[in-house]
């Protein structure tokens, strides 16, 4: 059942490789704090009008449409959302084809809180396991947090994520509990609660990571290419796609493109 496992070596108090203390969401939260009121939330884009003079964006605000005009704009919107936004005039046929057909994977994470960190026991199989259960990858997620309690986090993708995605949250958590019990027999004694995130059902994303599907060579470059006053960002436009690194990379690229046209 368990395909492989690794026992994590001890980490220093101040460093955990590849992670940000307090959670990776500290990065966007810090950026948002610095920008302050320049960011407005819960205003989905409904329509974009653009020409050589600039852009006009129609956003939904408290059940009414509000228009915002600018010389340029950056769309950091997944293709799954962008394809349903009214664009006038429409983007190039090549761009439109990529937006309508860009492939995305399926990804789900389940965080499970236990009253004891049994995965640290001497005879435990380890703190990180790669399995053939629906959870696929399960690992100790509270490694940099003190206390007797701990969190196991699963990362499920592909067909397993699709299958779990058909279940409601209670059944997803029950499937996770069963899978963990198959890996660590004593888990049932320490289960407390859990939470699920399935990106493909998130109304603001409707997808997870982008990838080059069959016949989609060159999609990324086309999706990243500016069209008049409109620029594009997002992990689906980045070389390091499907990652936070890719999102940052794409933002820096779009900023440089705008700066070049301003000179």
The mean pLDDT of the chain is 91
pLDDT given at position 15? 37
Alpha-carbon distances, residue 172 vs 116, 119, 151, 156, 227 (angstroms): 22, 22, 16, 11, 42
Percent of the chain with pLDDT over 90: 79
pTM beyond cutoff 0.95: no
pLDDT at residue number 3: 47
Give the whole-angstrom CA distance, residue 44 versus residue 60: 6
- Summarize pLDDT for 34-79 with one digit per residue, the tens: 999 999 999 999 999 999 999 999 999 999 999 999 999 999 999 9
What local confidence, expressed as pLDDT, does residue 163 receive? 97
Is it the case that residue 21 has pLDDT exceeding 50? yes
Place of tokens 């969190």: 151
Among residues 118, 78, 115, 55, which one has the least CA distance to residue 208?
78
- Residue 37: left (phi > 0), alpha (psi -120 to 50), or beta? alpha
Is the domain spanning 44-103+212-262 CATH 1.10.10.10? The answer is: no
> Hey, where are the domains in the chain?
44-103+212-262, 106-201
Please enumerate, as own/partner, the contacts of 14-17 that have beta carbons within 8 Å and a separation of 24 or more.
16/143, 16/144
Select from 3.90.660.10, 3.40.50.1100, 3.40.50.1000, 3.30.230.10 the CATH code of 106-201.
Answer: 3.90.660.10
Q: What is the pLDDT of residues 125-174, one digit of tens each?
A: 888 899 999 999 999 988 878 899 999 999 999 999 999 999 999 999 99
200: buried, middle or exposed (CB in 10 Å: 19+, 13-18, 0-12)? middle
CA 23 to chain centre: 14
Return the pLDDT at 83.
Answer: 97
9 pLDDT above the threshold of 90: no
Q: Are 53 and 35 in contact (CB under 8 A)?
A: no
Out of 9-18, 180-189, 204-213, pick the least confident: 9-18
């Amino acid at each position: 059942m368990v395909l492989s496992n690794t026992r994590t070596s001890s980490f220093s108090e101040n460093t955990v490789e590849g992670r940000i203390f307090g959670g990776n969401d500290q990065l966007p939260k810090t950026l948002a704090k610095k920008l302050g009121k320049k960011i407005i939330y819960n205003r989905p884009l409904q329509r974009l009008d653009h020409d050589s003079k600039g852009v006009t964006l129609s956003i939904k605000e408290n059940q009414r449409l509000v228009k915002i005009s600018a010389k340029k704009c950056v769309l950091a919107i997944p293709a799954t959302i962008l394809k349903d936004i009214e664009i006038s005039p429409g983007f190039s046929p090549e761009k439109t084809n990529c937006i309508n057909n860009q492939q995305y994977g399926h990804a789900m994470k389940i965080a499970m809180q236990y009253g004891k960190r049994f995965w640290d026991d001497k005879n435990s199989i380890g703190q990180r396991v790669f399995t053939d259960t629906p959870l696929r990858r399960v690992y100790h997620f509270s490694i940099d947090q003190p206390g007797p309690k701990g969190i196991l986090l699963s990362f499920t993708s592909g067909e397993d994520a699709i299958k779990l995605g058909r279940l409601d949250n209670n059944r997803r958590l029950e499937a996770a509990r069963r899978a963990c019990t198959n890996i660590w027999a004593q888990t049932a004694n320490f289960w407390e609660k859990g939470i699920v995130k399935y990106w493909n059902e998130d109304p603001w994303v409707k997808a997870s990571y982008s990838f080059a599907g069959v016949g989609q060579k060159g999609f990324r470059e086309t999706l990243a290419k500016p069209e008049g006053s409109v620029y594009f960002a997002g992990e689906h436009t980045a070389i390091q796609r499907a990652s936070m690194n890719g999102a940052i990379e794409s933002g820096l690229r779009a900023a440089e493109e705008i700066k070049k046209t301003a000179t």
